[in-house]
Chain A
């Protein structure tokens, strides 16, 4: 007889079933993003179920974030891809694909009746060997600035070649390197602002020193201002209201009403005077500046920019070094923002305001142009990936070779390590090596090349000691990645291997999936 241990609708999947469902979920997800990997990877259309908006992308993290999942293991993969995005910014597809391939191998091993814990142990040994090999292969060129810049350029080019910007990768790689080098070692990408405007073509995008605010200068103000002292504020510029509900004034004549109105104006004027007392010639407010204060400020020769949004004022305060203020009683305590020139510029059909010569010299703006909004959005994601990888590389300066070279290198090392291991663990370690080889296989598959042939050639090359051999995706042959300049960040590759193997281990260990009763929601 059966007993109800769990509440209604709570479910449990046990042992084989649990494992099966997590393998199926993870593999499905891996297969979904697999085709986006590499320079010849394909794009996906993401169509929003609710609004019908479309989004064209081949960025793993973006795809994975967007899809709805009801599988625990698949959610873990989404999670590691997110972590990868936060940590290094790129390699989000690789990490997910590698984890899925590891699980595919594990499934085979489990079918051979090898205990999951043994597999995990084998994977541990293998990943340690792989990381060691990777570290040994890493090259550090940070001592030589010219060489290092070349490294950065190569990394940017490699990252971008798998994205929508691949046609113009040289151009954007330069752009990204310039932007990152301006940061002078900081990884704070907030200093690099990306403005997207539809129109023109991708190569019309450019890097602009300074900061561009997507707002226009107020009526009646000069459109160009040199040596600006900027007060950045978040204050309401309409009349101050008493915030008590139901407060009202009782008067007995229209004249008194007019006096009241006059008093409100005077109060406003006092506030404007207080603002002008800061010795500024530019006033940027997050909220609206209404007609009256605007004209008062304009009369005082102060350039006004209204409704600059939270993001706008925050960035502006970051790059110009000014504080965001909302009271104006103590001008001596307020830090004003400074910049050399404020002017109105036009991008496409829109007018924007440019602040150049700002206090934070590292600040810069990338203006992205492209034919459609999907194009520009995707370009932004690609550029963001490149920028974050580069900024990480500036910190962790070591680099490794791409094009499947690093994976093959690790796979060879793992194979060698597996030989010295006794027991069933060796099988698992070999499986790990096989999973690593899947990455170049998928790369070749996506480009429509004969993958098994190429990958075996690649492996042979590595055994022969040509440690820089990788896949030349343009020719469909094996080539020297060093000569081709296909470089990737060491941190990225390391993170991919670590995250993927940890996630795989975690999923393999699972032998029971418990699902709580879905929370009831009242019908609306």
Chain B
């Protein structure tokens, strides 16, 4: 009679709790939160997994976006309900943190909320549910570690990583988008690719070998001081003089540039005046200098880092030591798109350029997003050097461990842990659903295989069966799934604790 031996306060507490009767309004608010949050999670649910569907989004401006990236979908949804907005934020946070798993995190949150709703209807107090969920998530993380593989050598994954660095700035990886060709033409470029094209208006060169590259932050056009000014011309002879002096002024600058042995010139965009005018273009053409204009100010840092040159803000300071050297700078016609490439850069910094190609803008943008996700995932490995199996394997594994643990608990917590464990199964279920498999058959088989001790069994979506997912090389960084579980749980707990809306200013 172990149950009879339970301490009296415990019994009294349970008794008090079962009598808990929430007031009408808080319950209503909670339910409305849950409905809204689940609506959001259902909206992105079908895009989970390799067989996930894409969504077409029409922005208010009439642009079209086609994507299956959860973060992008949610960003474009104009959520009105406060709880819905929180889920949108949640997915954005996962995007920042892990870069991938933005759909999973929302689907998980939706599923947790579903579980919480059932328990609320049983009359459990929301704070108890919230606390148990947090405990369960901590437990889940711990048990996930047990299934991590030995840290796999990831140093070689990217050029950016030094063995000691614990983080990667994705801004050092530049993705240049060009419409043309197909996605297959996307490539990692050895060297630097520019967004801009060479100016050929005056017939300047488009290919320079042994290039000396200068980045300038001043302009090659008629002088314009910051003061208001007027040029007063009294007769036509003076007109000639003004024109001549203007040409002389530009010629001087161009000559100085040539004198420093520069033959490729990148010019920063200026809002005050033309970055480069026709006259100077003609001069530069004669001096055989390749010109690219409209370089944005925030690109300067990247370019100077990758080309090994220093930006020059004044013509007087334009000297040879500030130039970068590259074997070839050329504009090529790559699958219908003109691309300026700089290859064979000497003293290059730790930066990488990726040239993304696609037949239209929609594909291109989706391609960029996918690349970004992939890069983020790689970065996750740098942050936390551990991999776990994919294909729903970790979720099932954790869910199984949690429900085992739940059986060792008593009271409300046991219920909550069990519900949390069940809610985790939403990931394999959705994966199976989206792949057109029978979710019940698949998930139960998966659970069975895990119970038999096959910890790496997962859903093989391509073949439509359960298999050892590690052999299929379906792996994901640990960080993606830990952060998804943590973030989803935190948000759900915050939502559970809400019992009122207040309109404020």
Chain B proximity of A2: nearest CB distance (Å): 37
A295 near B16 with CB under 8 A, answer no
B494 near A375 with CB under 8 A, answer yes
A375 near B242 with CB under 8 A, answer no
A370 near B490 with CB under 8 A, answer yes
Contact of A43 among B80, B223, B483, B498 (CB under 8 A): B498
B227 near A255 with CB under 8 A, answer no
**Interface residue? A331 (CB, 8 A):** no
Scan residues 115-154 of chain B and give those whose CB is less than 8 A from a CB of chain A.
125-128, 131, 134
Contact of A54 among B26, B82, B128, B170 (CB under 8 A): B82
**Interface residue? B246 (CB, 8 A):** yes
Scan residues 300-347 of chain B and give those whose CB is less than 8 A from a CB of chain A.
300-301, 304, 310-314, 317
Contact of A348 among B83, B96, B245, B314 (CB under 8 A): B96
Rounded to whole angstroms, the CA-CA distance of A249 and B226 in the bound complex is 10
A247 near B227 with CB under 8 A, answer yes
Rounded to whole angstroms, the CA-CA distance of A251 and B234 in the bound complex is 11
Q: Which residues of chain A come closer than 8 Å to B486, judged between CB atoms?
A: 201, 371
**Interface residue? A58 (CB, 8 A):** yes
B483 near A448 with CB under 8 A, answer no
Chain A proximity of B246: nearest CB distance (Å): 4
Rounded to whole angstroms, the CA-CA distance of A367 and B505 in the bound complex is 29
Rounded to whole angstroms, the CA-CA distance of A219 and B301 in the bound complex is 6
Q: Known: A253-B242, A260-B223, A291-B217. Contact between A348 and B82, CB under 8 A?
A: no
Q: Which residues of chain B come closer than 8 Å to A371, judged between CB atoms?
A: 89-90, 93, 486-488, 490-491
Rounded to whole angstroms, the CA-CA distance of A32 and B314 in the bound complex is 64
Residue in chain B with minimal CB distance to A476: B13
**Interface residue? B503 (CB, 8 A):** yes
Q: Known: A351-B169, A375-B494. Contact between A260 and B505, CB under 8 A?
A: no
B226 near A476 with CB under 8 A, answer no
Contact of A238 among B226, B231, B504 (CB under 8 A): B226
A448 near B217 with CB under 8 A, answer no
Residue in chain B with minimal CB distance to A249: B229
Chain B proximity of A195: nearest CB distance (Å): 15
Rounded to whole angstroms, the CA-CA distance of A27 and B454 in the bound complex is 61
**Interface residue? A179 (CB, 8 A):** no
Contact of B245 among A238, A250, A253, A450 (CB under 8 A): A253
A-B contact count (CB 8 A): 241
Q: Which residues of chain B come closer than 8 Å to A290, judged between CB atoms?
A: 313
Chain A proximity of B323: nearest CB distance (Å): 14
Chain A proximity of B277: nearest CB distance (Å): 13
B246 near A254 with CB under 8 A, answer yes
Q: Known: A66-B504, A199-B96, A371-B486. Contact between A346 and B16, CB under 8 A?
A: no
B224 near A257 with CB under 8 A, answer yes
Chain B proximity of A59: nearest CB distance (Å): 12
B311 near A295 with CB under 8 A, answer yes
Q: Which residues of chain B come closer than 8 Å to A42, judged between CB atoms?
A: 26, 126-127, 497-500
Scan residues 338-356 of chain A and give those whose CB is less than 8 A from a CB of chain B.
346, 348-349, 351
**Interface residue? B502 (CB, 8 A):** yes
- Of the listed stretches A4-12, A44-52, A386-394, name the one at the interface; the rest are far from the partner chain: A44-52
B93 near A199 with CB under 8 A, answer yes
Q: Which residues of chain A come closer than 8 Å to B227, judged between CB atoms?
A: 241-242, 247-249, 260, 264
Q: Which residues of chain A come closer than 8 Å to B245, judged between CB atoms?
A: 253-255, 258
A201 near B487 with CB under 8 A, answer yes
**Interface residue? B86 (CB, 8 A):** yes
| Mask: chain B, 212-255; 1 = CB below 8 Å from A; 0 = not | 00000110001111111111111000100111011011000000
Chain B proximity of A192: nearest CB distance (Å): 24
Contact of B223 among A46, A254, A374, A477 (CB under 8 A): A254
Scan residues 205-242 of chain A and give those whose CB is less than 8 A from a CB of chain B.
219-220, 238-239, 241-242
Chain B proximity of A109: nearest CB distance (Å): 27
Chain A residues within 8 Å of chain B by Cβ, number = 78
**Interface residue? A441 (CB, 8 A):** no
Q: Which residues of chain A come closer than 8 Å to B449, judged between CB atoms?
A: none
**Interface residue? B268 (CB, 8 A):** yes
Scan residues 83-128 of chain B and give those whose CB is less than 8 A from a CB of chain A.
83, 85-86, 89-90, 92-93, 96-97, 125-128
Scan residues 281-312 of chain A and give those whose CB is less than 8 A from a CB of chain B.
290-292, 294-296, 298-299
Contact of A201 among B80, B90, B228, B483 (CB under 8 A): B483
| Mask: chain A, 352-374; 1 = CB below 8 Å from B; 0 = not | 00000000000000000011111
Scan residues 449-502 of chain A and give those whose CB is less than 8 A from a CB of chain B.
449-450, 453, 475-477
Contact of A199 among B80, B97, B128, B501 (CB under 8 A): B97
Q: Which residues of chain B come closer than 8 Å to A58, judged between CB atoms?
A: 497
Chain B residues within 8 Å of chain A by Cβ, number = 79
**Interface residue? A200 (CB, 8 A):** yes
Chain B proximity of A463: nearest CB distance (Å): 21
Chain B proximity of A45: nearest CB distance (Å): 5
Q: Which residues of chain A come closer than 8 Å to B493, judged between CB atoms?
A: 167
A50 near B505 with CB under 8 A, answer yes
A348 near B97 with CB under 8 A, answer yes
Q: Which residues of chain B come closer than 8 Å to A299, judged between CB atoms?
A: 317
Q: Which residues of chain B come closer than 8 Å to A44, judged between CB atoms?
A: 498-502
Scan residues 9-44 of chain A and give those whose CB is less than 8 A from a CB of chain B.
32, 35, 40, 42-44
Q: Which residues of chain B come closer than 8 Å to A199, judged between CB atoms?
A: 93, 96-97
**Interface residue? A67 (CB, 8 A):** yes
Q: Which residues of chain A come closer than 8 Å to B229, judged between CB atoms?
A: 248-251, 257, 260
Chain B proximity of A37: nearest CB distance (Å): 12
Rounded to whole angstroms, the CA-CA distance of A52 and B79 in the bound complex is 10
B502 near A261 with CB under 8 A, answer no
A295 near B313 with CB under 8 A, answer yes
Residue in chain A with minimal CB distance to B310: A220
Contact of B127 among A248, A255, A294, A447 (CB under 8 A): A447
B92 near A198 with CB under 8 A, answer yes
A249 near B16 with CB under 8 A, answer no
| Mask: chain A, 101-129; 1 = CB below 8 Å from B; 0 = not | 00000000000000000000000000000
Q: Which residues of chain B come closer than 8 Å to A175, judged between CB atoms?
A: none
Q: Known: A253-B245, A448-B16. Contact between A375 and B490, CB under 8 A?
A: yes
Q: Which residues of chain B come closer than 8 Å to A431, judged between CB atoms?
A: none
**Interface residue? A252 (CB, 8 A):** yes
A49-B505, A164-B497 given. 18 additional CB < 8 A pairs?
A: A40-B125, A45-B500, A49-B503, A56-B86, A56-B498, A68-B504, A198-B89, A199-B97, A219-B300, A248-B230, A253-B245, A254-B243, A257-B223, A349-B169, A370-B93, A371-B491, A373-B89, A475-B13
Please, could you name 10 A-B residue pairs with CB atoms under 8 Å apart, sorted by A? A40-B127, A54-B82, A199-B96, A202-B490, A249-B228, A250-B231, A255-B248, A255-B249, A264-B226, A371-B487
Residues on A close to B: CB < 8 A? Answer: 32, 35, 40, 42-50, 52, 54-56, 58, 63, 66-68, 164, 167, 198-202, 219-220, 238-239, 241-242, 246-255, 257-258, 260-261, 263-265, 290-292, 294-296, 298-299, 346, 348-349, 351, 370-375, 378, 447-450, 453, 475-477
Question: What 5 pairs across the A-B complex have the smallest Cβ distances?
Answer: A66-B504, A248-B228, A42-B499, A448-B125, A291-B217
